[in-house]
Every structure is written in structure tokens, then in C-alpha cells.
Amino acid sequence: MRKRVAVERTISAIGDHLAEQGFEVDWIDTGVLQAKDLANYGAIIISGQDSNLLGREDIGTEAPVISAEGKTPAEIAEMVRERLELTS
């Protein structure tokens, strides 16, 4: 599985933690993201402030989309590992 993840810029603490855990982190701006941009990621982490992925109905992805709302960086890292079937 791919260890490359996309993280919304507004949740930098989570992206930093994922990078420390060995994930390749790319920062995304949800307002300018296109569906083709998502194809290279094993998971996409969003702030969770919007229930629709990136607030747009025309964006779709096969990668798991994980909402960071109410979760710690460690919880998000564990969710990414589980969804990508990676071990610590």
C-alpha cells in the first residue's frame, strides 16, 4: 500500500505527526484541489469542517478520506495505518 498521504494545510500538527511516523506527506489546499490530484495518495486527511469532501461534489477518490475533527494526531496516524493495512 502507498504511504503517501494528502493532508489539508489547516491541520499541520497532524501532517507533521504523520511525517514523523514515516508517511510521505503532501499538503493540500482544498479550494484548488482537482480529482486527478488525489490519484497518487493512499489516504486523504481533511479537517472535517465540511462533511462533503473538500466541499465539492465533483471530487471523488478511491483513497480513504479521514476526517480529523475531534481526533488527536496519534489517532489519525493509527486510522491511516489501519486503512492502509500497515503495521507500526
Query: Average pLDDT, whole number, for the chain?
Result: 81
Q: Looking at residues 56-67, what average pLDDT do you find?
A: 67
Domain of residue 68, CATH code = 3.40.50.2300
C-alpha cell belonging to residue 36: 486527478
For residue range 8-18, list pLDDT tens digits in order.
999 999 999 99
What range defines the domain where residue 43 resides?
Answer: 4-84
51: pLDDT strictly greater than 60:
no
Please indicate whether residue 56 or residue 46 has the higher confidence score (pLDDT): 46
How many domains does the structure of the chain reveal? 1
